[in-house]
Structure formats: structure tokens, C-alpha cells
A and B are shown apart, each in its own frame.
Chain A
Amino acid sequence: MSTLGTSGTGASGATAVGTSSTGTLSQAGSRTTSLGGFDASAPLLQVSDLNVHFPTEDGAVHAVRGVDYTLRSGEVLGIVGESGSGKSVTSLAVMGLLPGSARVTGSVRYRGQELLGQSDRSMSRVRGKGVSMIFQDPMTSLDPVYRVGYQIEETLRIHDKSLSSKAAEARAVELLELVGIPNAGERVRSYPHEFSGGMRQRVVIAIAMANQPEVIIADEPTTALDVTVQAQILEVLQTALQETGAAMVLITHDLGVVAGFADRVLVMYAGRPVEVGSVEDIYYEPRMPYTLGLLGSLPRLDSSTKERLTPILGAPPSLLNMPPGCPFAPRCPLHIAACDEAEPPLLQVGGGHEAACIRTAEVAKAHGHAADVFSVTGADTEPAGTARSADLTTTEESRETGAPGTPPGDQTEPGAGTTTGRTGSVVSPEPRPTNGDRA
């Protein structure tokens, strides 16, 4: 079980959420066992050959292409990848939350029972109680028209019909205390808009842990938050794991969060896992060039050396009509002809460490130093989607300094609607100064 660098020293961390969450769950430790009909001895969560297609006008987008993983009890599995790599779609498929148009194949077993293809009604028994979910955006994952207390009570009472409304409210207060909401007794009657982003995410976590689930899937739980608030929420997540004893699938693009929180890491690229291993394997001895490149492209907070970053050239492939071969090949500096023949499966490269690459021996030589493998050129000349790095040309020549005596701006009036530097809607509308402006 991983522990985040526990909150500060006694002195500095005393104001941390850890201390404000004095409450404990009355049912803690005595989980009301697994759901009926589920085999407690079977693996907790087993995803095999999961595929998701979304039909579009241009053809089927193959968003998830054969995801396999097994979640062990008590562990935190980090799923990392860039936008569009299929990490969120994978978890939505597990929860049965994809739109009806999506075609989902493969298998998702929770405690031995298949979840794919179940009716929404029977999935509702599992959601929240067996597997619960924390969403990215706390601004939209709570219902704005209900009080937060009601939303917590609702989850409780769906899974325990005999719970009286009084008992449910007491539990809701207890849960809010646990996630570090001050004055929980009063705040339980607040609406989501009365909370800040960090506080809302605490409420979402309270809902996710309300029924003592065995698995919590957290999809970018801190991405929408500021970094000081993120540190608070990661503490709360740690509390949630301790209180519920749940295992967690933590989906994020932040390699820092995963480094501190996860036990095992699954790296996704173009809808597939490309490397799986312990957190140490992945960070110190990556075997897939993509993982290596990802780590090399991160600027480091803890290093003042002005080493060049090693970007990965090009862009991820379109998931529409994927060509055969390794999907990373067009961006890969170790690309050889054999890479285009077939997509490599996950190959064992060490104990519990697998990588989908036929050139892992070459990657191993770098020992995590991306600059040994990747070039640090600044160009990005390939059109999006159809990258092929073979014919990349470096266009880094410095711009010749133009004649200093360029004629002073003629002040030609710009054509209607073309105001330079203002084309972007990023500029918020200017406030209209009024007489009372400086009051």
C-alpha cells in the first residue's frame, strides 16, 4: 500500500485535512461483505480484451483496443496516458456508463461475474457498492438542484432500503467529516454551488466511499484543481482508501501524482496498454520507447540543470482505420521495418513488467535516460495524424534578423474584424468602465 509523503511534520501539517477528518465510519472494518451473487474468492476486477468502438460518420473509431488488467485487492493501479489514449473510455466501459451507441466487447469481471451486457438495473447494484467512481470535474458530477446531503443519502439508501432517513443523514454528516468538510452538520444542507471546487471534490469522494465499495475508479480526480488543493484531495483519497479498504484504479495524465500514489502503473497509447509494471519499473527502467519519451519530456521541478527536454515528435494516430504495425512506430526513434509488420503484444520483460515493443533491449540500454534515444530537435513539421518521422527535417535555423530599418508602421486601418492579437476568444470581454468604476 502506498503512502503519500504524509502530511507535513507535526507542526506544519497540523492544519491539514488529516486532522480535521476526525470522524470514523461506524461501519468501518465490518464491510457488509461482497454483494450477493459474487464470488469473494475471485479476482477483484478483471478486464480482458476490452474493445470499444464508437460509430461516426467517417467510420468506427476504435477508442479502446484490447485492454487487459487485473486489479488486486488493496492495490492502487495507475493508468496514465495522454489525451485520447482511451484511459477514460476504459473506465466508463467498466462502469457501464458509455452511451448506447458505443460497441463494447471483451469482458469485465467483478468478483467473477461478468459486468458487460448487464442491464442498467443490475449494474446499479454494483455501482457505488461494488465499484464506485470519482469523476474529474466536481463542477458537473454533482447535481446542482439537490443538497449535497441528499445526494449522499441517495447513494446510501439505494443500496440499503432499510436505512431510515435519519440514519442516512447521520451517515452523510459522518462521511462529510471524514473527507474534511468543516461544519459538516450544517454543510450537509448546502447546495453544490455553495462549495468551492476542492470542497465539491470532497463531496464526490464522500459519495464514492459511502457504501464501502471494494473498487474505486478515480478518473483524473485532481486535474481540475489547483496544486495546493490537489495535495489536500490526494490526502482525502488516501483516507478514503484506508477507511474502505478498497482497491483503486487511478486514471491521470500527471506522472507526479502516479509516482506518489500508485503501486502499479499501466501506460496507455492509442487505446492500448503499451507497458505495465511496478511504479519503480516504469519510472526507472521503462522498456517501451513511448514511456521513456514521456518521462523525458517532463520538465523537472527538483532539478536546476537546464537539460534539453526530449519531445516525442508527431502526434498520436487517428483511431479511425488504424494501419497495421505498432501505433507508436511513426513517432518512435527506434523504429525499424519489422515494427510496421504487426502490432506487438505485451511481452514479458521482467517480473510483473510487460512492454508492447520488439526493441525493448535497445530501450533497456538507456536506463530511463530519454536523451539517449530521443532527439531534442524543435521541429514539428508533420501534419497531424499521419506522422512518419523518417523524413523529418530539422528546421531550426535561426531566423535572419530582418532589416532594422523596416519602415515604421503605416497605420493602415485593419479590415473589419481583423484586430491583430485579438482573434482569440481567450480575451475576456473588456469591462465597460463607468463613472462608478473607481468607487
Chain B
Amino acid sequence: MTAPTTDRAADGADPRGEPILSVRGLEKHFPIKGGGLIKRTVGAVRAVDGVDLDLYPGEVLGLVGESGCGKSTTGRAILNLQPATAGSVVFQGREIVGLGRKEMRPLRRDIQLVFQDPYASLNPRLPVFDIVAEPLIIHGLTKDDDELRSRVRELVETVGLNPEHTNRYPAEFSGGQRQRIGIARALALQPKVLVLDEPVSALDVSIQAGVINLLEDLKDSLGLSYLFIAHDLSVVRHISDRVAVMYLGRIIEIAEQEELFNRPVHPYTQALLSAIPLPDPRRERARQRIIISGDVPSPANPPSGCRFRTRCQKFANVLTDGQRELCMTEDPKLETRGTGHLNACHYAEATAVL
């Protein structure tokens, strides 16, 4: 079990107050069944393998990583949509891990999820009104039909859609508009925290910008906190106050947005930032690129010691054999190591890559 390290260690007393959501040692393992007649468990995909993070009120925490790093599973486990294997998720002072569906329901009013795919996450047979009204009805939050109608109307206006159109079906809306419907549904219960799982990845850039602006406005006007899960670091930088980078089921670096993008210390964060092409021909062509080799190892059988060492450019080219020994044998904990923010690299060192 991972020791509960918090980023409070980095800056002493925390001015942000108590976290609204606090995750410690979160694990989610999926069993691998053997191929025989009797399905025996022969191993586990360690999709999330010890994640620690805190979300403060009014904050946007970006959670980034490549496909398969466990960022979405982390989001689902936090919401208890997929029960965690181990660890703790404390939301507003209450432990969520281990709660049943019934016990979760009152909590769901305060923590809601927005899904990635606006084409699959809305029921095509329900008009928009019913989609947005559903959580209100389930939780019994409106007295009568009049109140329900005005509340839905208000929600639909809040997300920048025309309230006249609530009798239409999802198919009649564009992708960006559907995502707004998904957001209206998530806001219906007046949650305090939204977990946004790749909310704009399925949208074209011109549409995506409108949804990002909307999310920023809603956060300010409603005082929400976001756990913003995405693979697009440009979007994450734009919207986040702090950013956590995941690799193979673990957080490997977490820092304030400015700090992470200007002074990344983990070789993976550096490679990730350097791999993203900039939409600016002169800057893009002048850049030095760090290219890491290979693909992400299987989370069913992660490398010993540091999980990134098999692809790490520093491990391969810079470190001496003696230094590599540590990478191979000891799993680096999430600590500050004198860099000013939490990271999981034995040889963390700030390098500007943008």
C-alpha cells in the first residue's frame, strides 16, 4: 500500500483548505481468467495501481496520460461505478469505497460524471427534456411538473442551448450540442464535483472550444470543482489549475499547471510534452524532440522498479549502470525530491521542453 503522500508536503500549510475529494492508494485490478474449462484467475490487469490525489474546492485538476494508463478507470473507481480493489476515496469527509449502490445514491447528488462520447451517453429514444429531467425525478428534487419544467429549462439555458428545443431527440443535435446536454444532465442535481472523462475528445476543434469555454464559465458561476480526465495536454493546460500525469496505473508527476508545463521533472512528462506538435510552424520546426521508443508495457506485468524505465530516455542514455540499479530495483515513490513538486523519478530534474 502506498504511503499517503500529499502535495501539502510541497508547500507546507495549504491555503486551499481541506480537499473536497481525497484519494489514497486507489487500486483497481481486473482479473485475468485462464482459458481452461474452469475459469481460474491467472493474473490481474493492474489498471490503477496506487493513485493518490486531492481535489480542492473550486479547483480544476487535470488527469492526463496515454490510452491504457488507467485515467478513466481512476475516474470510474472514484465514482464507485467500478468498485475499487483497494484504497480509499474520501468525498466530503465520507469514505466511498465499499459503499453499495443504495448508499451511493445520495452522494451522487454531489459528484457527477460527464462521459466522453456524446453519441453513446444519451439515450436516443428520450427527448432532451426527459434526459435532463431524469436525475431530478430519480432524486425527487422537484415538487411538481411546473417546477420540473422550469428547472429543466433553466439547465438547458445554462449550458447554452435553446430551451425551445427540449422536445427534440439527441439525434437532432450536433456533437457539441449533445455534449452540452450531457453537461446539463450532470448539473441537474447541483453537484459540487464533476468528473469529466474526456469531455471534448470526440468533438471537432471548433466545437470543442465552445464546450471548454462553457465548462470554464460553469465552474466560475457555480463554484464547481472538476476532475478533468483527458489525453490532450493542450486542453488540459488550458482548463486546469493543477495537472497530474499518469503512466501505467500510477501518478508519476503532479504540479501546478505552470510548473508542470514549464519545468517538468519526470522523463515521461518531458517526452509527452515534447511529442505534442505545436500549431505554430516556426516554433514547431525549431523544437528539439525527445522521442521515446516502444509502447506502453502490459499493465498485467509491469516492469520491476520504475515502471517507465523500459522506455525512459534518461535510463537508456544518461544514467550509469550503478544509477540504473536503483531504477530496476526500487519503485520510486511520489515525493518532491527537492524539485518543488511531487514526482516519481529517482533522478528527477527539471528540463524545459516546450
Contacts and interface: CB of A to CB of B under 8 A. Distances in A.
Contact of B120 (A235, A408, A418, A425): A425
Given A5-B286, A13-B291, A230-B275, A311 B281 contact: no
B35 interface: no
Contacts of B320: none
A299 B81 contact: no
A418 B168 CA distance: 19
Interface string A291-315: 0011111111110101011111101
B46 interface: no
Interface stretch (A248-256, A344-352, A356-364): A248-256
B311 to A, nearest CB: 8
Contacts, number: 312
Contacts of A399: 154-155, 158, 187, 221-222
Interface in B176-195: 176-177, 180, 185-187, 190
Given A231-B291, A421-B108, A425-B120, A437 B180 contact: no
Contacts of B106: 408-409, 411
Nearest to B102: A411
A433 interface: yes
Nearest to B287: A5
Nearest to A293: B206
Contacts of B161: 379-381, 395
A343 B40 CA distance: 66
Interface residues of B, number: 111
Interface stretch (B89-97, B211-219, B299-307): B211-219
A399 B30 CA distance: 41
Contacts of B197: 426
Interface string A235-272: 10000000000000000011111111000000000000
Contact of A259 (B273, B280, B293): B280
Interface stretch (B9-17, B230-238, B322-330): B230-238
Interface string B167-179: 0100011101100
B207 A311 contact: yes
Contact of A410 (B140, B160, B172): B140
A427 interface: yes
Chain A binding surface, main DSSP class: loop
Given A283-B281, A301-B276, A396-B160, A412 B138 contact: yes
Nearest to A304: B258
Contacts of B286: 5
Contact of B174 (A199, A229, A284, A315): A315
B141 A228 contact: no
Contact of A411 (B105, B208, B272): B105
Contact of B284 (A259, A379, A411): A259
A142 to B, nearest CB: 17
A8 B273 CA distance: 13
B278 A301 contact: yes
Contacts of A299: 209, 212, 234-235, 237-239
A380 B177 contact: yes
A414 B121 CA distance: 18
Contacts of B115: 424, 426
Contacts of A410: 139-140
Nearest to A256: B277
Contact of B160 (A395, A434, A438, A439): A395
B116 A426 contact: yes
A48 interface: no
B279 A255 contact: yes
A354 B333 CA distance: 55
Interface stretch (A14-22, A24-32, A171-179, A206-214): A14-22
* Most chain B beta-carbon contacts within 10 A, residue among A284, A383, A408: A383
B233 A301 contact: yes
Contacts of A6: 288-289
A69 to B, nearest CB: 19
A57 B277 CA distance: 41
Contacts of B205: 82, 253, 255, 294, 297-298
A288 interface: no
Nearest to A370: B209
Nearest to A224: B67
A84 to B, nearest CB: 9
A259 B286 CA distance: 11
A430 interface: yes
A424 B160 contact: no
A406 interface: yes
Contact of A283 (B190, B204, B279): B279
A427 B85 CA distance: 18
Interface in A218-240: 226-232, 234-235
Given A311-B209, A426-B120, A15 B317 contact: yes
B113 A254 contact: no
Interface in A382-408: 382-385, 395-402, 406-408
A281 B35 CA distance: 58
Interface string A80-119: 0011000000000000000000000000000000000000
Contacts of B139: 409-410, 412, 420
Contact of B176 (A284, A315, A400): A315
Contacts of A313: 210
A259 B279 contact: yes
A416 interface: no
Nearest to B221: A398
B122 interface: yes
* Most chain A beta-carbon contacts within 10 A, residue among B30, B67, B318: B67
B350 interface: no
B293 A17 contact: yes
Contact of B285 (A5, A14, A294, A296): A5
Nearest first, the 3 closest Cβ-Cβ pairs linking A and B are A256-B277, A424-B121, A410-B140
10 contacts: A13-B289, A226-B296, A257-B277, A304-B258, A380-B207, A409-B140, A414-B137, A418-B134, A420-B108, A436-B40
Given A414-B137, A420-B139, 12 more contacts: A3-B285, A11-B317, A254-B277, A259-B278, A296-B209, A297-B206, A299-B235, A306-B238, A310-B209, A382-B162, A421-B108, A439-B44
